[in-house]
Amino acid sequence: MGMPNFLGDSSSVVWNRQYSHPTAEKCHCGPLTQALLMLQAHRMVVGHTIQPAGINSACDGKVLRVDVGMSEGCYDVPPQVLEIIGDKQVFRLIRGSDGTVQRFPVPDAHACNSPLTQLDSKF
């Protein structure tokens, strides 16, 4: 018995990279917005596509990309942690060389003040 298509196909939920292109403008924001509406969610957190600049967002903050390439087989960079406080504040945490945790806002990761109710007209 092989791997189910929904896991093994290159466009499956496990391997899909439509929202993780390192260049935010090349992300598929329209389908993301539709998926969020169907899931009744404000944003999506994705991994599995290394973001050389560290944890970041795209599609007007609707997707948070968290794969920083910390594996020795990739970039071997220090771990980063995504912190969302009360669905209002979004930070990436990095341990400094002195051992203290440094907190940086994730650019363009906006507070989620109200539920998504309609598709953005530009999509």
Contact (CB, 8 A) for 116 and 36 = yes
Determine if the pTM surpasses 0.85: no
With b for 16 or more beta-carbon neighbours within 10 A and e for fewer, the 54-74 pattern comes to bbbbbbebbbbbbbbeeeeee
Other CB atoms within 10 A of residue 85 CB: 9
Mean pLDDT in runs of 10 for the chain (123 residues)? Answer: 72 75 80 88 86 88 88 82 90 92 89 50 36
What is the pLDDT, as a whole number, of residue 28? 87
The H or E element that residue 102 is part of is strand 101-105
Give the pLDDT confidence score for residue 120 in this predicted structure: 41
81, β-bridge pairs: 93
